[in-house]
Amino acid sequence: MIRLPIFLIGLIGLIGLISLGLNFRFIAQNQENNTVVVVADGDTFQLKSKERVRLMGVDGPELERCAGPEAKKRLSELILNKTVELKESVKENYGRTMALVYADGKLVNKIMMEEGWGKPDYKKNSQRDILTTAYKEAQNKKVGLWSMCISNSTNLSNSTNQPCFIKGNIDFGTYEKFYHLPHCRHYNQIVLNTAYGENWFCTEKEALAAGFTRSASCDQ
């Protein structure tokens, strides 16, 4: 049996303690950097490291639109001032990180979808089927924005208190914008989602100014 000199044993122990201390410091620093300091809206936030992160697979409403403030509030409740874990991270063209985000051991992306605060963006990730299922369940249960922002009745009016009958509809496959008058085909079947830019208009002029064009079905 080989006996090491006492000073060598002490040196090895000291190196071990230093290594352990550095590991703890690294873990603590990493946790601090991954602490959420700002929530921008219902799908985007910033870490203490200055990294901007978007929930992968979740397209939340813009802050100024229907359910935007409520979606931001819910995301804040889930992650603000908490340490989060990012998985399957990829960089967007805008410099943001897209990721599956975990807080308190739970998948935040899934919670936001099942509570009705987003729709799928269909980005490839390991949880895409789960997120899509959560989205469909939220729609069926009419929770979150699906209870607040879905409209098929003309309950809006302009400053002259005239009823607004024109439906501004968006094809979310192509993002083309069309408006439909009451005599247009399928008018009664069109349901508007004001959380994502669809809206009622009181005049064709308003619809055109918002970037919508008259549907070809109106001329059939």
For the segment 77-88, what is each residue's pLDDT rounded down to a tens digit? Answer: 999 999 999 999
Domain boundary among 86, 114, 148: 148
Q: Is the same domain home to 92 and 105? A: yes
pTM above 0.75, yes or no: yes
On the CB side of 209, CA atoms within 13 Å amount to: 7
Q: What pLDDT does 41 receive?
A: 97
- Do residues 82 and 44 share a domain? yes
* Integer CA distances (angstroms), 99 to 8, 113, 174, in order: 47, 15, 25
Res. 23: pLDDT tops 60: no
**Residue 146: partners with Cβ closer than 8 Å, 6 or more residues away:** 116, 138, 139
Quick one: 92 and 195 in the same domain?
no
Asked if residue 101 belongs to a domain, the reply is yes
Q: Considering the domain boundaries, does residue 13 fall inside one?
A: no
Could you say which of 87, 121, 148 is where a domain stops? 148
Query: Domain range for residue 79?
Result: 35-148
Q: Residue holding tokens 């700002």? A: 38
Q: How many domains does the chain have?
A: 2
pLDDT at 203 over 50: yes
Residue 110, Cα to own-chain centre: how many angstroms?
10
Calculate mean pLDDT across residues 1-20. 60
81 and 138 housed in the same domain: yes
CA distance 169 to 206: 14
